[in-house]
Structures are given as C-alpha cells and as structure tokens.
Amino acid sequence: MVSWAIILLIMASIENSEILFIINPNSGPKRFNHLIRKIKKSDPELTCIVTKNETVKQVFETNLEKYKAFIVVGGDGTVHEAARYLYNREDKMLGVVPNGSGNGFAFELKFNKNIKSLLEDIHAGETLNLDVLEINDIECINIAGLGFDSYVAHRFNTRAIRGFLSYFFVTIKSLFEFKPFNATVLIEGREIKGCYQMICFANNKQFGNNAFIVPHAKPNDGFFDIVLVKPFPFYFYPVFTLRMFLGQLSESKYVKYLKTAEEVTIKADSNEFHIDGEPVLFDGPINVKLGHKYLRVIRTKRNML
C-alpha cells in the first residue's frame, strides 16, 4: 500500500526520445494538427502517435516499455483509457495536453497546451502519486456518478459533433428531459435513502471546464468525496451552476457532502452511470472504494498540490 501523501521524485533526466505523445483525433473539436506542429516545433525528434488506425490499447502494448513519459493529447475519456496501463508504475509518468470537451483531469492538475512548458516540467522530473477509485472494479481517476451528469454523458456519447458547444447543447436539452431517481447509500455502517438529482464520487474537484462539483476535493489525500444532490426547483439551476463555476458550491438543503476512505455501496433505480465522463451501464448494486493502485502524474510548475 503506497503512502497517499505527495511523493516528490527527482528522477534521472528524461530525454525527449523517452517521451511519447498519444493523440486522439476524435477528442473535442478535433483540431489537433496544430498541436502536432507545436510538438514538432519544440523538437522534431519527439514521437507522436495518432490513434486513427490503432487503439490506445495497441499503442501501449507496442510502446509501454520503450518510453518513460506518456502524454495524452485528448479529453478525460482518453486519459482514463491510457491511465489503466500506467497504474503502480514508478518508472512511468502520465501527462496531458487538454484537447477534449471537458478536460476535468487536465485542468485540475494544471496541464495546458503550452508544449514548451510541459517539456520543462517533464525534464524537471517532479511527479505526484494520485489515488485511484474503483467503481465495481473499474478504475476512476477523476469523477464518477449517476443521475443528471450521467444522463448528459450517455446522450453526449451518441453525438457525432464533440466540443464544449455540443456538450452545452446536450446539457440544456437534458434539463427538460431528466427525471430524478431513488437511491440508498450505504456508508460507514449508515444507510442514507432519498430521491436525488445526482450522486457523484469524486477524486478531483471538477467535472471539467472549471465546473467545481467538490471544491474541497484532493486527488492524493487517501479519501474520496461523495456529493448527494437532491432535486431542486428549476429556478435554482442558475444559482447552482454559478456556484459551481465560481468554486463556491457548499452544503445546503439540496447538497450534502460526505468524505470517506471506506467502501461505499449504492443501490439505485437508475442504471446509467459514468466513469471519468465515459458512459457505463450497471445492473445491481454499485460498489465504490479506493483501490490498491496509484497513478504517477507529471507535476507542473502551476500545480500547488
């Protein structure tokens, strides 16, 4: 079991030849060619693989032992997919160039599209070991949940057009379609029952696009956060949304926060779930816990964790 405090490692210098950029051409608005040009301008010898003709799985099966730093150019879904090959690897590190629709993981860890700055961070060799949640044995590094956010994720997944505007359209449409659900939360020997708008399990603060659902969450503190949101009147949506984007969402008669290191079980009459923004269907109880895994991530100079 690793210590979940910040682990700061000063590694032997990483050469650019040991860095692999993995580019998902289907993430976000699909404008990735300019990022490739920026990468090659920084160093023509840097290796880029565009996952057009092969999957992320195939990329890692072929290249995992060839490189030390793996940089995902894409959104939360691509990061989630790549991370599964890097758990518990002290000799590997993950970085992100955010190019998705939400980019919650990347924004929270202070990654941006400045390739020069990212290379400086990689060469500095400072990393963080992050907690990893397990939702029915599926890993989660950012946020998972059921309810309204999951309803949006499932509808957005069917759209051919990606990007923030498309996501915004689906969200507004879902406001008029979504129906609250009933659930029972079993936590630390207690049973909490109710009707909910959404239930979120968070290892990080935000969904993406700086929408902070758990302003106090930390990805490496040995705990995970649970947010129980009860149905609220339609006129409260602007207030709820504003507080999220200002990072000021707090407990109220509609919002309840829980924090635990123990396994939690959810029984709900909804089977639509999402893990790191990716839609999943679960039948039966949902078990959430901190796994015996960690994810080693490049620490950027902007990251205050």
Q: 257 and 145, same structural domain? A: yes
C-alpha closest to that of 297 among 153, 62, 132: 132
Residue 276 lies in a domain: yes
Res 265: pLDDT? 97
Looking at the structure, tell me whether residues 116 and 230 fall in a common domain. no
Same domain, yes or no: 112 and 151: no
CA distances from 17 to 42, 57, 73, 79, 272 (A): 13, 21, 17, 21, 42
SS3 275: strand
Query: The pTM is what?
Result: 0.89
Question: What is the domain range of residue 215?
Answer: 138-290
- Using an 8 Å Cβ cutoff, are 141 and 84 in contact? no
State whether 127 and 145 are in the same domain.
no
H-state helical runs in 69-192: 76-83, 104-108, 115-124, 148-156, 164-175
Q: What is the pLDDT of residue 2?
A: 42
Do residues 110 and 164 share a domain?
A: no
- Coil, strand or helix at 293: strand
Q: Which two tokens stand for residue 209?
A: 């696009």
CA distance 23 to 75: 10
In this prediction, the residues of the chain whose per-residue pLDDT falls under 70 are 1-12, 28-31
Split into its structural domains, the chain has a count of 2
The CATH number linked to 179 is: 2.60.200.40
State residue 28's pLDDT score: 61
Same domain for 201 and 165: yes
For residues 122 and 95, the answer to whether their CB atoms sit within 8 Å is yes
Among 135, 156, 180, which residue terminates a domain?
135
What local confidence, expressed as pLDDT, does residue 105 receive?
96
Residue 3 pLDDT: 42
